[in-house]
Amino acid sequence: MHTLTAIRQALVTLLSGHTAAGSRVWGSQTRSIGDAELPALQVLLTGRKTRMRADVPDYVQRGDFVVVVQVAAGDTADDQAESLLDEVERLLTRSPTLDGLLAHPLRTTRLQVVVEGNRLRYLQGYRAIWHEEPFAELEVTEPHTAPRFADFTHLHADLDAPPFASAAEHARWLNGDYSGERPDAQIDFHPPGPTP
């Protein structure tokens, strides 16, 4: 299951049956909500931004979601929408990481208020942040990307301890040039078997 799906479903599950909207909580962009189904809540994904951290092989994902509070227009519509929004906020405050699904507590962003025909909509934005290891669960099937250990004939490693040498020095080591600074340690390993 995609993480975006898991977050959307977790939000729907958390809100369903715990507000004045009752079970009328949907997590679909295209679900049309009829007048007889109001008040209702809708959980929508509005975007995602991905940033790869250079120090470790994982992605920091930032997803933007909206919880839409929909009520019938009328003299008490604002009060009803704000009361429902208060219930939503209280539930999300009690479960800020959606039971550990998120790396950081869900953050409230922008609130938009829209009147459309005979209904009032409060669109409350939330930002979710989580980490993912890219392709961590994929099985590599292409033979050229999954070498066998027996394919290796020699391992050479240059180890650098603090204070570290410069990136330029590391590049020289990769080319076998040790005329400047030298590594703190070196490893040369030849596995058993035929040598080239």
Query: Is residue 83 in some structural domain?
Result: yes
The range of the structural domain enclosing residue 46 comes to 3-132
pTM: 0.67
Query: Is residue 116 in some structural domain?
Result: yes
Q: What is the pLDDT of residues 7-25, one digit of tens each?
A: 999 999 999 999 999 999 9
In this predicted structure, the answer to whether residue 111 has a pLDDT above a threshold of 70 is yes
Looking at the structure, tell me whether residues 118 and 158 fall in a common domain.
Answer: no
Total domains in the chain come to 2
State the helix-helix crossing angle for 3-15 and 77-94, rounded to 10 degrees: 120
Query: Is residue 139 in some structural domain?
Result: no
Query: Is residue 140 in some structural domain?
Result: no
Looking at the structure, tell me whether residues 107 and 62 fall in a common domain.
Answer: yes
Looking at the structure, tell me whether residues 103 and 163 fall in a common domain.
Answer: no
Looking at the structure, tell me whether residues 33 and 61 fall in a common domain.
Answer: yes
**SS3 for 24-68, per residue?**
CEECCCCCCCCHHHCCEEEEEEEEEEEEECCCCCCEEEEEEEEEE
In this predicted structure, the answer to whether residue 53 has a pLDDT above a threshold of 70 is no
Looking at the structure, tell me whether residues 72 and 22 fall in a common domain.
Answer: yes
Give CA torsion, residues 166, 171, 176, 180, to 10 deg: -30
Query: Is residue 142 in some structural domain?
Result: no
Q: How many CA atoms lie within 13 A of 185 on its CB side?
A: 4
Q: What is the pLDDT of residues 160-185, one digit of tens each?
A: 887 777 777 777 787 788 888 889 99
Query: Is residue 104 in some structural domain?
Result: yes
- The reported pLDDT for the residue numbered 126 is 97
Q: What is the pLDDT of residues 184-194, one digit of tens each?
A: 999 888 777 66
44 vs 29, 81, 130, CA distance in Å? 6, 17, 17
